[in-house]
Amino acid sequence: MTGTVHPVQQAIAALPLPDEWEWEFVVRPRRRTLGIDIAPDGGVRFAVPPGADPRAVAAAVRARLPRLADEVRRRRSRPVGQIKELVDGTSFAYLGRRHRLLIVPEEDGRPPVRLYQGRLEMPHVTDQREGGRRIAAWYTECGRRWLALRMPSFAGVVGVSPSGLAVRDLGTRWGACGPDGTIVVHWAVLQLPPALVDLVLVHELCHLRTSGHGAEFRGRLRSALPDADERERHFAEEEPELWRGAVR
């Protein structure tokens, strides 16, 4: 059975969007304006508040089409990320510093993964995917502790009170702001230098005050991080190379 198509979705579909675009449409109760997000793989999400005017949304999207097309094209041409081989010497970054993997004997009480004397130690596993999950879990736990120490001061600067913090796999997104006020960061972000991890954290904290990425949001972000534009350029250069758990 075919469901009813939202009028705004119809208005967007009627625009001359490139045929190769993969896009979706969502209604967000907390939004006040149109939001357009482009995923790392080039997918586009149009988010609108309830009761949005289809003609106004269509006009806003049409005005941004050239810039959106350039950004989608740029992201679709990026590498999909690294694939790691879990052998001695494989490099893993944590907070901008690189550590070589060392496969160690299985011993009672030895953690699944640990950073010890500059090496990332992991007991031998027969299933490479299990090894990848163990390392991702290590990033998740270390990242949660590190971010928990960073978030209170940045939340104070932004003027928000997040309800919680989570670190997990977010697929193609690097950060998210949950409807309950929880800030979520992708574990893979923890490979980046602290200044870029802070950028993702502050970006999501700003969304507790402002939805979308318009002038108000940009103002809040730059107020909290005066060099936000420079950090964003650096992030755009670094994020295509992040390891997201793929192994061989």
Reading the block at residue 79, the tokens are 């590498």
Q: Would you state the pLDDT for residue 116?
A: 94
Enumerate residues 6+ apart whose C-beta is below 8 A from 231.
195, 196, 198, 199, 225
SS3 112: coil
Domains, in order of start, for the chain: 7-76 (no CATH), 82-247 (3.30.2010.10)
CA distance to 1, 9, 128, per residue, from 4 (Å): 10, 10, 45
Q: Would you state the pLDDT for residue 80?
A: 55
Q: Would you state the pLDDT for residue 10?
A: 94
Q: Would you state the pLDDT for residue 2?
A: 44
Lay out the sheet containing 44-48: strands in order across: 23-27, 44-48, 35-38
Tell me if the pTM is above 0.75.
no
Q: Would you state the pLDDT for residue 171?
A: 83
C-alpha angle 154/156/162, rounded to 5°?
A: 80
Q: Collect the ranges in the chain with pLDDT lower than 50.
A: 1-2
CB atoms within 10 A of CB 109: 4
SS3 32: coil
